[in-house]
Amino acid sequence: MIKVRIPTPLRPLTKGQGEVETTAGSVVEMIETLNSSHPGIKDRLCDETGELRRFVNIYVNEEDIRFLKGKETSLKDGDEVSIVPAIAGG
Amino acid sequence: MKRKIESDVDLLVTNLVIPQHILDDMIAHARELAPHECCGLLAGTGGVVSRIYRITNIVAMEGAQNLSSFDPAKAAHLERLSPEERAEIAFVMDMQDFSTAKKDMRNNGLDLQVVYHSHPHDPARPSVTDIKIATDYEEIWPKINLPIPAYLLISLMHAAPDVRSYWIKSGQVSAAPFTVR
């Protein structure tokens, strides 16, 4: 299983859960799987072309996927994924 | 020898040290983007800032409904505004810029010290939204291998810019005094 940490603003989509478990061989697969169990989450993470939105980062075991293989970054059993929203304010 | 003493002192006090040229650069950044908010990061070691990273504020570029940092009520409010109006009251860091900055810090042995942004029309203190998002972020910093930074505000509401920094922890705001040298 892969643990995925969900940031506060996305928790309404996961019924309030801060962490969900999933199985997937890559980040892109993980996003699809999450979207099946938590509809709407993909739209929050990816734009119309499927690219990661500029105000979201995904970390696999504390490493930014933008420095790995992006959405194609592979995942294996026991990996921990963090979805990180942009630093923001007003 | 003097250098060594200074570095020992810096380890003992929590005060931030910001070089004058970096302070000037932040204020210039705020003025360049006014009336929109600017944002960026300061990095260094042991509280001593040595590097500034200007980060793109993407709030004007996206529909607010997708800005996943904001709570739904705030996002709904932002959504009613034009992109221009949004950028006057909010910032969202471009996380590609953020990643590039983070990588540069790591390559140069620097730690994140400060997250800064400007308030073109308001005082140099964290807004309710700033406090809420910073509080949500407390649990995120350790997961992305970064220390909890101080938050620095640049107000342009008066002719002379006002620059202040704060710690935001568990929703509580306290002053994080800095010295300029």
In a domain, A56, yes or no: yes
In a domain, B7, yes or no: no
CA distance A76 to A67: 18
Task: Count how many Cα atoms sit within 13 Å of the Cα of residue A54 in the half-sphere of its side chain.
Answer: 17
Task: Indicate if the pLDDT at residue B68 is higher than 80.
Answer: no
Question: Would you state the structure tokens that stand for residue B168, as one six-digit string?
Answer: 């935001």
In a domain, A79, yes or no: yes
Distances (CA, A) of B160 to B5, B28, B59, B163: 34, 12, 26, 10
Cβ-defined contact of B96 to A66 (cutoff 8 Å): yes
| A25-46 pLDDT tens trace | 999 999 999 999 999 999 989 9
Number of independent structural domains in chain B: 1
Q: Omega into A9 within 30° of 0, i.e. cis?
A: no
Domain that holds residue A6: 2-85
Give me the mean pLDDT over the B62-81 stretch.
72
In a domain, A55, yes or no: yes
Is the predicted ipTM greater than 0.90, yes or no?
A: no
In a domain, A90, yes or no: no
In a domain, A37, yes or no: yes
Domain that holds residue B46: 15-164
The pTM of this model reads 0.87
Task: Indicate if the pLDDT at residue B4 is higher than 60.
Answer: no
In a domain, A30, yes or no: yes
Cβ-defined contact of A88 to B92 (cutoff 8 Å): yes
In a domain, A21, yes or no: yes
- Most A CBs within 10 A among B140, B151, B168, hence the mutation to make, goes to B140
Task: Indicate if the pLDDT at residue A11 is higher than 50.
Answer: yes
| B116-148 pLDDT tens trace | 999 999 999 999 989 999 998 999 999 888 999
Number of independent structural domains in chain A: 1
Looking at every residue in chain B, the average pLDDT score rounds to 87
